Structure 1
């Protein structure tokens, strides 16, 4: 199906055509017809599947078709609430791109910066407002924002809203909205808390779900490296120096961990920057701009900060720390397989993370290929996940054993994983070079084991 079959008006078709878009993604194909009928919607799809266009295009079309002469400044007709500054800016930019021939105005407001420029834009009048919760409530309290004319409301990344503790702010915002409106909830995951909240606010919405394994696991080349926690910095530096990639997004579980990874990379001559909630808005935007422009090849991010990263043709995603929520893994690696593109993802796994790995593989219904021949293998068998093979015999891998684990305990003796043959993250058919015959590497690897085990 093509966009022109979705009954989209000509000004918007012209704009999306100028961006080279001809065929809608699954979430767009299913959501746009529902939203054009002004139905409420509960949508679930990972980042990179085109969720923003799925709700932005219908909203722009409704505002364009309903346009009547207004006296005074424009009033806010559509409100999009999202958890992070980066994501808010990205959504605002998308509204500008898709609505460039409609005459519809939009702006974005978020915290962490002075409000002067934002209030100036609001005073000039806008049709669409994109906002983070805190700054939105602040400017409502100051009288700069009125929600009484809102006809279209979008709660984007609803799962992260709840994880970040925005539930009370969201309830306050919803209480201020007109009762008669079209409401849309979009989320990368759909925990019961989101379903419950949606049921109270949306009433009887249509539902669209694009399963993660349908959109990511099948088209992203995935590789797994078993490595001790202490050896992770060395393995990351090794891969970044040997893999031929243009841009790499590295995921850290914590803000402190992200800064630590960056310091380690810079120390060995690899330019990298971090993006997370403790960084100032200017620092985050500069790091993101450098990464998009290609002047910074490696960006280290936490999950929440990464929600606003939209980089086309991202070469590689590295899970430096495995997430404890399996859907987050799918969300992460989907950034290198956006829309219809393919991509590559590498994951590090230490002993404590093996229960997380089992949950991930259960979700995506496949085993992640294990790279068994690399310089920083753990020094021996650890709960049967990697075979106890000496360096000069690694090319001859014995049969791996499995053990069951029904809990999410961090006890490594109760977790398991099955292994496939080695392959590179950049190709499913090529194999990694053997390090066992390299005397220099073997001397370095021996020293490394003494330091890390």
Structure 2
């Protein structure tokens, strides 16, 4: 009976995946039976959700700003700030219109074509369009790119919007213009042991990700790129810098360590040539726990011309820190900042309703089963990321999904070593693998063929199933259970499904977690599991997404 019940519940969710989360019994509400797997309601019809609490300033609600959470969250961006960007975007929609060197433009278009899952590989590279943040950043910084005084800018745009390319455009354009437009200065430094630009990131996972994009771009432009990660020795760094490092990707800690070892002579001289510095995931790097180290690393670059802080969100605390340390900075944002993409199908499932009876694990297992069998991503291995709030819960969820429900699952937290983290996320940050390339039968399950039959006096459909032969369609699903450690900055290639096992506590967490899918204007689904304790401001999120409101 338990097996039948599990199957019925999964079939119900499967139907919900296709038709949306408005699921009712045919009987009138007054006669619905509240117990048993055959009669239940999944609550996501926004008409039945409580109205969001009017926290904060009522005028914010009128401006289309929605306050998520009970404490510190995202800064409200002024209309004047985003209006400037909107006006630029109306005028410019092509790389050809941007003031950058043709060879830089061609190289970056090539990189975009190779990295983007949204583009047809047969499409002419020259026809690739810049994203809004790429247009805004290039247009703003190009005006004073070669000025010698210090210029400080903050870049903020929605997750998956192409921010890495956005800051690489002025960085690479600057490096090549120094070579082309000031040949006398270039002759003086081209053979010296110096570092010309640095990109700082908070984690070694991001070092690898950013370096992949940087190295592709640098190779096309004849520049020397170098990544300094946990596997890089000081000897490797010395050998690289002897041949000049044009772009170095590393962490603040690695920069500071160069001043603590004898093998590197006069690191201050090596860094005196750094003219362009980018802080990627700046809201993390400028957080209280990172601030002292990050600020010290910045101070090791005494001759910097451009200092860029890049982030997917502007938390209130980050904004206050920047106001205090860099009050003269200029801000570049997009109109979609702090919004969840409308390309994302955001769904709620209430675990307090029958047949789950408060078990979030039952909800999670059946969502995964339905995702596995929903017929999407045909011919490719599916991947799904599950977020929990506490690292102690990640391993528990993984073990239950593996042992009790048979899902192919791994967990990842900050307690794992860097090597373990890189190995575990490898499948999730690369494009999906074709099923025909998978050799192990353990990772591929047979797709069942369904014949629909409705249960008596119900709209619950029970499927009569039969296995498909081994030569026919197969499916595979990999599941990663993690904390916010993996929600910041990582580009999960083609992840179509994200599950919020725990309701995010702040708007910051919500934006970053939901942003692991629906990247670069692709579609995706986010499932948030709720219960009786879930606040109204969390239950209202599907409506907020549909109405395109800004989170605060």
The answer, yes or no, to whether TM exceeds 0.5 is: yes
Aligned equivalent of 1:238, options 366, 387, 396: 366
Spell out, residue by residue over 1:289-330, the C-alpha distance to the aligned partner (whole angstroms, 9 max, x if none). Answer: 123354772122222333243133221111111211113212
User: Using a 3 Å threshold, how does the CA distance of structure 1 residues 180 and 252 change in structure 2: closer, same or farther?
Assistant: same
Aligned equivalent of 1:61, options 151, 170, 173: 173
Contact kept in structure 2, 1:27 and 1:210, CA below 8 Å:
yes
2:388 alignment partner in structure 1: 252
User: Using a 3 Å threshold, how does the CA distance of structure 1 residues 135 and 209 change in structure 2: closer, same or farther?
Assistant: same
Aligned counterparts of 1:353 and 1:78: Cα–Cα separation in 2: 46
Matches within 5 A, 1:24-39: 24-36=130-142, 37-38=144-145, 39=151
Matches within 5 A, 1:258-297: 258-267=394-403, 268-291=405-428, 292=430, 294=433, 297=478
1:11 alignment partner in structure 2: 103
Aligned equivalent of 1:169, options 279, 288, 293: 293
1:438 alignment partner in structure 2: none
Bigger relative contact order, structure 1 or 2 (CA pairs below 8 A, ≥6 apart): 2
**Mind listing any 5+ residue stretches in structure 1 that lack a counterpart?**
369-453
Spell out, residue by residue over 1:186-207, the C-alpha distance to the aligned partner (whole angstroms, 9 max, x if none). Answer: 1222123322332344442221
Aligned counterparts of 1:80 and 1:24: Cα–Cα separation in 2: 21
User: Using a 3 Å threshold, how does the CA distance of structure 1 residues 258 and 124 change in structure 2: closer, same or farther?
Assistant: farther
SS of 1:66's equivalent in the other structure is helix
2:206 alignment partner in structure 1: 87
User: Using a 3 Å threshold, how does the CA distance of structure 1 residues 285 and 175 change in structure 2: closer, same or farther?
Assistant: same
Instruction: Please state how far the C-alpha of 1:159 moved relative to its aligned partner.
Output: 1.6
Instruction: Please state how far the C-alpha of 1:212 moved relative to its aligned partner.
Output: 4.7
SS of 1:218's equivalent in the other structure is coil
Contact kept in structure 1, 2:154 and 2:332, CA below 8 Å:
yes
Aligned counterparts of 2:292 and 2:534: Cα–Cα separation in 1: 33
Aligned counterparts of 1:113 and 1:272: Cα–Cα separation in 2: 31
1:311 alignment partner in structure 2: 492
Instruction: Please state how far the C-alpha of 1:108 moved relative to its aligned partner.
Output: 1.9
1:133 alignment partner in structure 2: 252
User: Using a 3 Å threshold, how does the CA distance of structure 1 residues 280 and 42 change in structure 2: closer, same or farther?
Assistant: same
Contact kept in structure 2, 1:322 and 1:356, CA below 8 Å:
no
1:404 alignment partner in structure 2: none
Does 2:197 correspond to 1:78?
Answer: yes
Spell out, residue by residue over 1:97-120, the C-alpha distance to the aligned partner (whole angstroms, 9 max, x if none). Answer: 233321111222234876665565
Aligned counterparts of 1:17 and 1:123: Cα–Cα separation in 2: 30
1:52 alignment partner in structure 2: 164
User: Using a 3 Å threshold, how does the CA distance of structure 1 residues 217 and 340 change in structure 2: closer, same or farther?
Assistant: closer
Aligned counterparts of 1:237 and 1:121: Cα–Cα separation in 2: 49
Aligned counterparts of 1:174 and 1:357: Cα–Cα separation in 2: 38
SS of 1:190's equivalent in the other structure is coil
Contact kept in structure 2, 1:78 and 1:128, CA below 8 Å:
yes
Contact kept in structure 1, 2:163 and 2:310, CA below 8 Å:
yes
Q: Which has the larger radius of gyration?
A: 2
User: Using a 3 Å threshold, how does the CA distance of structure 1 residues 133 and 360 change in structure 2: closer, same or farther?
Assistant: farther
SS of 1:32's equivalent in the other structure is helix
Moved more, 354-363 or 342-351: 354-363
Spell out, residue by residue over 1:10-30, the C-alpha distance to the aligned partner (whole angstroms, 9 max, x if none). Answer: 222222333426111111111
Aligned counterparts of 1:113 and 1:256: Cα–Cα separation in 2: 31
Aligned counterparts of 2:361 and 2:539: Cα–Cα separation in 1: 23
Matches within 5 A, 1:90-105: 90-105=209-224
Instruction: Please state how far the C-alpha of 1:359 moved relative to its aligned partner.
Output: 8.2
Q: What TM-score results when the alignment is normalised by the length of structure 1?
A: 0.73
Contact kept in structure 2, 1:41 and 1:185, CA below 8 Å:
yes
Aligned counterparts of 1:151 and 1:196: Cα–Cα separation in 2: 26
SS of 1:346's equivalent in the other structure is strand
Matches within 5 A, 1:157-236: 157-163=281-287, 165-178=289-302, 180-212=304-336, 216-228=340-352, 231-236=359-364
Aligned counterparts of 2:544 and 2:279: Cα–Cα separation in 1: 26
Contact kept in structure 2, 1:12 and 1:61, CA below 8 Å:
yes
Contact kept in structure 2, 1:318 and 1:345, CA below 8 Å:
yes
Does 2:299 correspond to 1:299?
Answer: no
Contact kept in structure 1, 2:341 and 2:518, CA below 8 Å:
no
Q: What TM-score results when the alignment is normalised by the length of structure 2?
A: 0.61
Instruction: Please state how far the C-alpha of 1:215 moved relative to its aligned partner.
Output: 5.4
SS of 1:217's equivalent in the other structure is coil
SS of 1:110's equivalent in the other structure is coil
Contact kept in structure 1, 2:156 and 2:337, CA below 8 Å:
no
Instruction: Please state how far the C-alpha of 1:348 moved relative to its aligned partner.
Output: 0.9
SS of 1:336's equivalent in the other structure is coil
Moved more, 261-270 or 346-355: 346-355
Query: Aligned-residue CA RMSD in angstroms?
Result: 3.0
